[in-house]
Structure 1
């Protein structure tokens, strides 16, 4: 339990909640329990409900909170507070990676990616989707594979393009960035190169640059490629690798109201996929002297780490199943899911430290284990923090009783409906 209270000390949770105005100074709401109830309440159970989070709180806090008192705390300020906790946790918790290629020459390897979250259709105005009569949010991550941390998180509507959130600048110097196709733009690649950074990206299907030079010599009657467009010769090639220099044309950013055309030379590498009888094509500014085609393909596989994070959030925490039409509740639940993931990974680090060296803990198997023990961990954490919840019987009575006097339960409704018939 000390590991968790070191990650999020109670004093820090309380002070920051007061700074933002999440709680009043009388502290009727026990904010450390409130936070932990969302962290472990999100992890536990097959389906997350707001009532379930309230029950998690009431099973741990010194005094229970009423449904009205609980729901009125679910504000935009609480969403901001949870986001701050996520950013704090990201600075403390490592996210494992599997980078095997020698990339010590870079200060950091960065991975940019995003994933779509389907929302209640009533949120279509707040979270505009690509299709009408739908609502969707997008979670964007900038993952530092070297430091094993997530450096940036953004939440937008689905229509917001991933690339608009990636800003080039001097921070890119001596960093390697890995992109999926959502970020493909020659002007972006040029800006990275001009800022002293490096990149590897898949080549878009409709990209057909002109080959200016072959970077590998082939013996025999090899097809000459110089001066030809890449896509025009792919079907005629049967090489294991393609390694060429290409020239691309793009528009620079606006200056004095105009956008000038420019050209840039990059390297394009193809690695043959024998099963698909096709090539995986990558565009990069990394030199052949330092990285062979197979090296680039292996480096690009590092992106799979972010895909695994998204898959874990969706499969283990049902991140894309938000049954609410409240905009800020969506954000609260999103950040609660990320907090659960961070706490889970922090405990995985502890388990790995304590276990024998030869033991292996696959992330998804660990996530399922963490979920199955979430309520037990929350109970022990509450005891560690010195909370004394009401007796179990009192909590059962509190949670099971009818809340709204005006709303009849099913038996009452049936009795009222059948009474006239019985009397007649």
Structure 2
């Protein structure tokens, strides 16, 4: 429990909530309990409803909160507060490295990616989807594979392209950026190179740069490639690797109302996929004398770290199943999911430290284990923090009673509907 309260100290949780106006000074709402109830309530699938979060809160806090009192706390300021906690956690929590690759050559290896979250159709004005009568949010992550942490998160509507969230600049110096096809732009590659950074990306199928030189000599009657376009000849090759220099034409950024044309030379590498009888084509600025084609394929597999995170968020935490019409609640649940992931990783780090060296903890198996023990962890955490919830019987009465006096329960509705017929 000390590990978790060090990650998010109660004093910090309370003070920052006051700064943002999430709670008033008399603190009728116990903000540390609310945070932990959201974290562990989201982890436990059976409690991942607003009523379930309230029950988790009431099972931990000194004083229960009514449904109306709980729901009125689900505000944009609470969403902002939880986002701040996520950003704080990102600085503290390491995400385990799933790929064994030699990355010491670089200051950092960065992975940019995004995923779409499907939302209630009534939110389409706030979170515009790519199709009519649909709503969707896009979660963008910038993951540092070297430091094993997420450096940045952004949430936009579905129509926002991943590419627009990736900003080039001096921060790229000495870093290797692994990009999927959503970020493919020759101008972006040129800017990474000009900021003394490095990149590896898959080559788009409709990208067809001209080959200016072959970087590997082949014995015998090899097909000459210089002067040809890469996509025009790739189907005619049977060699294990392709390793060539290409020249790509692109438009520079707008300057004084015009965009000038420019060219840049990059390296294109192909690694043969024997099962599919084709090539995986990569474009990069990494030099051949340091990185062979097989090295590039190994480096690019680091991207699976982010893919694994997205898969865990969607399969274990059902991140894309938000059945609410309230935009603030969408953000609250999204950041609660990310906080659950960060807390899960912090506990995994603790478990790994305590376990024997030969024991391995697969991330998704650990996630399922964490979820199954979430309510127990919340109970012990509440005791550790000194909270004394009401007796169990009192909580059962509070949770099970009829809430809305004007809303008939099913038995009352049936009795009213059948009464005239019975009298007749």
| Residue aligning to 1:85 | 85
Residue 382 of structure 1 aligns to a residue whose secondary structure is helix
Displacement of 1:104 in angstroms is 1.2
Q: CA deviation digits over 1:302-358, x for unaligned, max 9?
A: 000000000000000000000001111000000000000000000000000000000
Structure 1 Cα separation of the partners of residues 221 and 14 of structure 2: 74
Q: Distance in 1 between matches of 2:240 and 2:225?
A: 15
Match of 2:130 in 1: 130
Matched, 1:59 2:59: yes
Structure 2: give runs of 5+ residues left out of the alignment: none
C-alpha offsets along residues 355-412 of structure 1, whole Å, 9 cap, x if unaligned?
0000000000000000000000000000000000000000000000010010000000
- Counterpart-to-counterpart distance in 2, 1:308 and 1:38: 23
The match for 1:228 is 228
- Taking structure 1 as the reference length, the TM-score comes to 0.99
1:302 aligns with 2:302: yes
Equivalent residue number for residue 197 of structure 1: 197
| Alpha-carbon separation, structure 2, partners of 1:2 and 1:103 | 33
SS at 2:136 equivalent = strand
Q: 1:284 to 1:160 in 2, by over 3 A?
A: same
Listed as ranges, the gaps of 5+ residues in structure 1 are: none
Q: Which residue in 2 is equivalent to 1:410? A: 410
2:401 maps to what in 1? Answer: 401
Distance in 1 (alpha carbons) for counterparts of 2:35 and 2:365: 25
SS of the residue corresponding to residue 103 of structure 2 reads coil
1:359 aligns with 2:359: yes
Distance 1:67 1:149 in 2: 37
* Distance (Å, rounded) in 2 between the aligned partners of 1:134 and 1:96: 35
- Aligned residue for 1:34? 34
For 1:253 and 1:72, locate their aligned partners in 2 and report how far apart those are by CA, in whole Å: 46
Q: What TM-score comes out, normalization by structure 2 length? A: 0.99
Correspondence for 2:164: 164
Give the Cα separation in 2 of the matches to 1:235 and 1:90: 44
Matching residue of 1:9: 9
5 Å matches for 1:383-402? Answer: 383-402=383-402
Q: Distance in 2 between matches of 1:154 and 1:93?
A: 18
TM-superposed deviation, 1:421: 1.2
2:21 match: 21
- Structure 1 residue 101 displacement after superposition: 2.8
1:314 match? 314
Q: Supply the distance in 1 between the matched residues of 2:155 and 2:249 (Cα, whole angstroms).
A: 32
Query: C-alpha displacement at 1:48, in angstroms?
Result: 1.6
| Structure 1 CA distance for aligned equivalents of residues 277 and 222 of structure 2 | 19
Instruction: Give the distance between the partners of 1:37 and 1:252, measured in 2 at CA.
Output: 50
Q: How does 1:241-320 map to 2 (within 5 A)?
A: 241-320=241-320
Residue 103 of structure 1: how far off its partner (Å)? 2.1
User: Could you tell me which residue of structure 1 aligns to residue 98 of structure 2?
Assistant: 98
Task: Please tell me whether residue 336 in structure 1 is matched to residue 333 in structure 2.
Answer: no
How far, CA to CA, are the matches of 2:46 and 2:279 in structure 1?
42
Alpha carbons 2:47, 2:53 under 8 Å: kept: no
Q: Distance in 1 between matches of 2:93 and 2:174?
A: 24
Give the match's secondary structure for 2:320: coil
Aligned length: 424
Per-residue deviation, 1:47: 6.2
Cα distance between partner residues in 1 of 2:233 and 2:419: 83
Task: State the secondary structure of the residue aligned to 1:199.
Answer: strand
